[in-house]
């Protein structure tokens, strides 16, 4: 005879008291911590207001309308700018660094990254040497080397600067030929941008032809031709912008006139940042290529593709997909590292800030503007990267 124990009731109607209920406790705990955090922030805020008022500094952002009163190389009447206007000028100078830096470091980084995986021992060693040298030395040290040790000591003085063909190379700046000043440069630039739209239309047309008739679309050829044609159109519309104006040494042998002058700090900064970031990009590229299954490479060799074809059509398209997030990270880094320009007196956002802070601008608000401007960069780069990441990500179920 078996004795069956009564089955205990699993759920009781009785709820635990509030102070023992995990769900309630979690929310109460969070509320308390959040309250402490917010209270601390409010405490900091009230400190700032009290301190600013006791020092007689304004508490709002009115300082942005105040006069900047300091020179910016490359801008003629910088001293008359408002503080806000100076920040925008600095912003444009930062844009100049990354407009050159991002494409250049990508290209160089891909080359070095591939070199590190080469079959040839000499090429491989060169890649390793490059990466280990550039990656392990701080960006700022490279900027100092490029500015003080190379640019300022190697470039000739302006008195005996080599000139010719519209180029001037001196330690006051590097003059290069630039667009015709009589033409509308603005129109030309805008039309160059619009050209991408034209190329897109052409490519769409070629694709539709390909889909209808099966004829090879030849997108690269048609796209390039269309863009070149568009440049010619832009040239005439803007008033002959491509009749380049050369630079030459000015009459008093003190400055460079005509064309465009690349400031030496800009040159040194961009060079150093490009080389430094390229070493990181190379590691990203190498990692991405190594992550591609070896079978892909072997299959490419099996159908007798050349090394170039193997990379161009098989490896890099797949590696690119893996690369995007870390590559975007490197682009963010080069943008943020451009703030190191303040050390070689290239006047971008951070340099504008430090001048304003030394010129009695309220530091707290100025820091907020400074950070806000960099957040603009960060968010836009993240946005673009996310866009491509979504477009290129594998459709998996």
Partner 1 sequence: MSQLPPSVQYPEEPVVPDEQAAPKQGATSALAQELREGLFKDAKNTIVTLLFAGIFVYIGTRAYTFIFDNMKLTGDGSLANSWLVIDQNLTAFMVGSEFGRTGIGFPMLWAAIYLTAMTLGFATGPEKGEEVDPMPGRTRASIIGPALLGAVVLMTLTDTFTPKLLMALIPLAFFVGFKGVGLLPEKVMVHKTKILVVLAVLIFLLETGFEPSNVDSFGGLMLTINAAFISIVLCFPIGIVFALLRRSTFGLLRPVAVVYIELIRGVPLISLLFMGEFALGFFLPPDSNPLPSVIRSIFMITLFSAAYVAEIVRGGLQSVPTGQMEAGQAMGLSPLTISRRIILPQALRNSIPALVGQFIALLKDTTLLIIIGQRELLGISAPLLQNAQFRNQGYAPEVYAFVAFMFWIMTFSMSRASQRLETKLGVGTR
The residue (of 191 and 300) whose beta carbon lies closer to partner 1 is 300
Nearest to 351 by CA among 90, 172, 136: 90
CB 137 within 8 A of CB 285: no
CB of 77 to partner 1, least distance (A): 26
Calpha distance 101→275 (Å, rounded): 9
DSSP structure string for 218-274 = -HHHHHHHHHHHHHHHHHHHTTSTTS-B--EE-TTSSSEESSEEEPHHHHHHHHHHH
Nearest to 114 by CA among 278, 295, 269, 227: 278
CB of 256 to partner 1, least distance (A): 24
The residue (of 224 and 358) whose beta carbon lies closer to partner 1 is 358
Instruction: Kindly give, in sequence order, each residue whose CB lies less than 8 Å from that of residue 248, ignoring residues fewer than 6 positions away.
Output: 163, 166, 168, 175, 256, 257, 258, 259
CB 63 within 8 A of CB 83: yes
The residue (of 89 and 288) whose beta carbon lies closer to partner 1 is 288
CB 278 within 8 A of CB 134: yes
Calpha distance 322→343 (Å, rounded): 35
Calpha distance 117→285 (Å, rounded): 10
Ramachandran sector of residue 259 (left: φ over 0; alpha: ψ -120 to 50; beta: rest):
left
Calpha distance 165→140 (Å, rounded): 34
CB of 223 to partner 1, least distance (A): 31
DSSP structure string for 278-336 = HHHHHHHHHHHHHHS-HHHHHHHHHTT--HHHIIIIIIHHHHHHHHHHHHHHHHHHHHH
The residue (of 231 and 332) whose beta carbon lies closer to partner 1 is 332
CB of 3 to partner 1, least distance (A): 29
C-alpha dihedral sign at 328, 103, 110, 219? positive
The residue (of 206 and 355) whose beta carbon lies closer to partner 1 is 355
The residue (of 107 and 375) whose beta carbon lies closer to partner 1 is 375
Chain centroid to CA 203: how far?
28
CB of 272 to partner 1, least distance (A): 11
CB of 204 to partner 1, least distance (A): 34
CB of 68 to partner 1, least distance (A): 17
The residue (of 147 and 230) whose beta carbon lies closer to partner 1 is 147
**Can you state the percent helix, strand and coil of the chain, rounding each to 5?**
70, 5, 25
CB of 317 to partner 1, least distance (A): 18
The residue (of 183 and 370) whose beta carbon lies closer to partner 1 is 370
Calpha distance 181→167 (Å, rounded): 16
The residue (of 96 and 206) whose beta carbon lies closer to partner 1 is 96
The residue (of 170 and 180) whose beta carbon lies closer to partner 1 is 170
CB of 124 to partner 1, least distance (A): 8
CB of 160 to partner 1, least distance (A): 17
Nearest to 273 by CA among 129, 94, 152, 114: 94
């Amino acid at each position: 005879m078996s004795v069956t124990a009564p089955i205990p009731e699993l759920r009781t109607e009785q709820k635990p008291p509030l102070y023992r209920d995990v769900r309630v406790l979690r929310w109460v705990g969070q509320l308390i911590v959040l309250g402490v955090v917010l209270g601390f922030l409010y405490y900091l805020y009230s400190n700032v207001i009290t301190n600013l008022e006791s020092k007689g500094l304004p508490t709002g952002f009115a300082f942005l309308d105040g006069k900047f009163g300091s020179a910016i190389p490359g801008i003629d009447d910088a001293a008359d700018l408002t503080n806000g206007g100076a920040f925008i000028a600095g912003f444009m100078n930062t844009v100049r660094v990354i407009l050159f830096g991002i494409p250049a470091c990508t290209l160089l980084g891909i080359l070095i990254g591939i070199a590190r995986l080469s079959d040839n021992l000499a090429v491989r060693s060169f890649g390793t040497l490059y990466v280990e040298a550039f990656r392990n030395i701080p960006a700022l040290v490279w900027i100092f080397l490029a500015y003080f040790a190379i640019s300022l000591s190697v470039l000739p003085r302006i008195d005996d600067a080599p000139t010719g063909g519209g180029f001037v190379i001196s330690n006051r700046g590097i003059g290069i030929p630039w667009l015709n000043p009589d033409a509308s440069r603005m129109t030309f630039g805008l039309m160059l941008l619009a050209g991408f739209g034209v190329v897109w239309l052409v490519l769409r047309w070629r694709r539709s032809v390909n889909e209808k008739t099966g004829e090879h679309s030849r997108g690269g050829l048609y796209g390039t031709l269309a863009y070149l044609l568009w440049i010619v159109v832009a040239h005439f519309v803007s008033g002959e912008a491509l009749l380049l104006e050369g630079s030459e040494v000015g009459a008093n042998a003190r400055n460079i006139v005509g064309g465009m002058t690349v400031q030496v700090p800009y040159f040194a900064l961009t060079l150093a940042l490009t080389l430094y970031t390229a070493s990181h990009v190379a590691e990203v590229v190498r990692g991405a290529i190594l992550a591609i299954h070896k079978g892909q490479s072997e299959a490419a060799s099996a159908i007798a593709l050349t090394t170039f074809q193997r990379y161009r059509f098989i490896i890099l398209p797949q590696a690119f997909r893996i690369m995007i997030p870390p590559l975007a990270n490197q682009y963010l880094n080069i943008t943020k590292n451009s703030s190191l320009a303040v050390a070689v007196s290239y006047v971008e956002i951070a340099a504008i800030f430090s001048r304003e802070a030394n010129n009695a601008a309220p530091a707290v608000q100025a820091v907020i503007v400074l950070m806000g401007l960099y957040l603009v960069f960060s968010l836009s780069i993240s946005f673009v990267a996310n866009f491509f990441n979504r477009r290129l990500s594998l459709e998996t179920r």
